[in-house]
Every structure is written in C-alpha cells, then in structure tokens.
Chain A
C-alpha cells in the first residue's frame, strides 16, 4: 500500500514523524510532507494526491486550538466532502485526518488504524 502523510508545521508534521518511526514498515511506500496549515489543503489537492497513492493521512492541530484558528476545521470539512465523493464514485481510496499535538500521537494511531486497516479488522 502506498500512502501519503501530510501534517501542518505546528503540530501534525512532528507528530507524524514520531508516528512513522514505529508504524511505517508495513507500507510499500510512505511519503511524508509538511505544509504551514491544513487549512491550505484543497479538495483538488487531496484528489491529486490520491491519484498516486492509496490513502492519505492528514494530521493537524486540535480543532479548538488550531494555530490558524479555522485551518483544522476547514480540513475536517474537506475530508468529509472528499470521502463522500469517493464513496459516491465507488473509488476504494480514503483520506483521514487526525487532530494532534506534536507530542501526543494517540489520535493518529487511532485514525490510521481505521484508515489503513479498518476493513481488514472488520473482516477478521
């Protein structure tokens, strides 16, 4: 499975780095990027990313303490919209977003479990 992980400079990226240390091994390819704020992400960028990967994991500041106030909230809504479209289009790819602080990655573990292995777990 080829995955892309994308986090904001403030919280998400450092958290993803930490998460990657232990969790990157099962994937065929992991690409990790940072951007100033998740709010900058567009639906189109998400789709384009998915064109070259199987799943996209986003990480940003907690909803109520986003460094840029509404960035995480915006990302949450876009993820919801994109997933709805992917489902409507019957495209078996997914994007998920975790809201974290740099040192607490529990949320990423939870979200990524469902994003990458969710279906597998359901079936077993």
Chain B
C-alpha cells in the first residue's frame, strides 16, 4: 500500500490564512491503514486547527484518488475556504481536479509503496519499476531494497547483514543470499543479470495504462 506521513504541523499552519474556514479531508484507504490520513487523523488535525483559532471540521471519503468518492464531500467542501487533504499525492491531485476553484493543500508527504513490518514500522518494498523480477531474488526486491539497485550484488559495503548507506537498513543482497542458500538455489546468482530495460519505470516518462478490455 501507499505509505505517507503527516507534514510538520507548522508547515501545514503556513498554508492557512487567519480566520479561514478549513476542512480536513481524510482518506479511508491506504493512509488510514498507515495511520497518517484516516478519519482519526483528520479529526485530530481539525481539532488542532480549532485550538489554534481556525474554524475547522473534518470529513473522510473512502478513496480520494477516485473522483466519484470525492463528490460525496461536495457539500462540506462548499462550506469552507480551504481544504487540507490527508490523502496521498494521487488523492490530492484527484481532489484538485474535482474542485478546481478550491484552495487545496497537501497535509501529508507521500513516502513510498511499502508494508507494515511491525506496529509503527513501515518499509519500502516496491518501486513500481514496471518489470517485476522478484522471483529471481527469492522475493527480495534488489531494485527497491538495495541502495544502489544492484542486480549483481552485493557491493563491498555489506556488513553484518546491514547496508553501509543506512546501517539500520538490511542489506538486500545479504537477504537474497541467505534465502537462496536456504533453498539450495544459490546457483541462481551465478549468472550475470544483464542491464535492465528501465523504460518501463518512471525513467520512461509519466506512465499510462490503457486496457481496452475494461473500457466502457
């Protein structure tokens, strides 16, 4: 899922003019699960705004990244001067497209696609490179989890299972090695992985997908 975190409160305050009416719009999907922008967080932030002197209330839609859900907030949005969206970057953009006349500010920083490793700890797991090769590396993505995206790792900076770049991060290649060794499949790593075709990734420009089979 998409992971995000709330922007520093002071940065959010700077979006707002004195005396404005502000709606905090939560999103009920990814950012609810990662406890950054769901109903609970929207209520907290609206309350903080009130404590700070703004007229503020909250509303949460199921998914801000889909226009039809945002329309359910139409009445609430009509009542305010400014909306602080607690959706990911996709949601903020969809919302802005739905209400082009409204001042909308992002209340979150969208950080990555990842998973909750344990309560209160999330890690990036996918880059969306558009050409999945997870099966070759026993389901540890070297593109995402190796700081240098090495396909023929590990580099010379792997120490005690940790990455030299950020020593609180696991070395992806140590994980790949350990997991393949356990499965007696180390020989998978003996052949050279050729240069990647990065054109399917973001490097090919903005990506777009058309599926004729599901179009109306």
- When A and B assemble into the complex, do they touch directly, with CB atoms less than 8 Å apart? yes
Taking a contact as CB atoms under 8 Å apart, the answer to whether A89 and B48 are in contact is: yes
Binary flags per residue of B27-47, CB closer than 8 Å to A gives 1, else 0: 000000000000010011001
Q: Is the interface of A mostly helix, strand, loop or mixed?
A: helix
Determine whether B139 belongs to the interface, using a CB cutoff of 8 Å to chain A.
Answer: no
B165 → A minimal CB distance (Å): 29
Question: In the complex, what distance in Å separates the CA atom of A42 from the CA atom of B40?
Answer: 9
B112 → A minimal CB distance (Å): 23
Binary flags per residue of B161-189, CB closer than 8 Å to A gives 1, else 0: 00000000000000000000000000000
Given contacts A89-B52, A91-B52, A93-B51, contact A44 B44 (CB under 8 A): yes
B172 → A minimal CB distance (Å): 32
Residues of chain B from 75 to 129 with CB closer than 8 A to chain A in the complex: none
Determine whether A109 belongs to the interface, using a CB cutoff of 8 Å to chain B.
Answer: no
Closest to B6 in A: A85
Binary flags per residue of A51-82, CB closer than 8 Å to B gives 1, else 0: 10000000000000000000000000000000
Given contacts A85-B9, A88-B9, A88-B10, contact A44 B43 (CB under 8 A): yes
Which residues on the A side are within 8 Å of B52 (C-beta)?
89, 91
Determine whether B50 belongs to the interface, using a CB cutoff of 8 Å to chain A.
Answer: yes
Taking a contact as CB atoms under 8 Å apart, the answer to whether A51 and B44 are in contact is: no
Determine whether A19 belongs to the interface, using a CB cutoff of 8 Å to chain B.
Answer: no
> Chain A: how many interface residues by the 8 Å CB criterion?
14
Taking a contact as CB atoms under 8 Å apart, the answer to whether A89 and B40 are in contact is: no
Which residues on the B side are within 8 Å of A89 (C-beta)?
9-10, 13, 48, 51-52
Which residues on the B side are within 8 Å of A44 (C-beta)?
40, 43-44, 47
Taking a contact as CB atoms under 8 Å apart, the answer to whether B44 and A43 are in contact is: yes
B132 → A minimal CB distance (Å): 38
Task: Specify which of A42, A43, A51 is in contact with B51 (CB 8 Å cutoff).
Answer: A51
Question: In the complex, what distance in Å separates the CA atom of A90 from the CA atom of B8?
Answer: 12
Which residues on the A side are within 8 Å of B9 (C-beta)?
85, 88-89
Residues of chain A from 8 to 50 with CB closer than 8 A to chain B in the complex: 42-44, 47-48, 50
Taking a contact as CB atoms under 8 Å apart, the answer to whether B8 and A88 are in contact is: yes
Which residues on the B side are within 8 Å of A90 (C-beta)?
10
B98 → A minimal CB distance (Å): 26
Beyond A47-B44, A90-B10, A91-B51: 6 further Cβ-contacts under 8 Å? A47-B47, A51-B51, A88-B9, A89-B10, A89-B51, A91-B52
Residue positions of A touching B, CB distance < 8 A: 42-44, 47-48, 50-51, 85-86, 88-91, 93
3 closest pairs, A vs B, by CB? Answer: A47-B47, A44-B43, A89-B9
**Would you list 25 pairs from A and B whose C-beta atoms are within 8 A, ordered by A residue?**
A43-B40, A43-B44, A44-B40, A44-B43, A44-B44, A47-B47, A47-B51, A48-B47, A50-B47, A50-B51, A51-B47, A51-B50, A51-B51, A85-B48, A86-B51, A88-B8, A88-B9, A88-B10, A89-B10, A89-B13, A89-B48, A89-B52, A90-B10, A91-B48, A91-B52
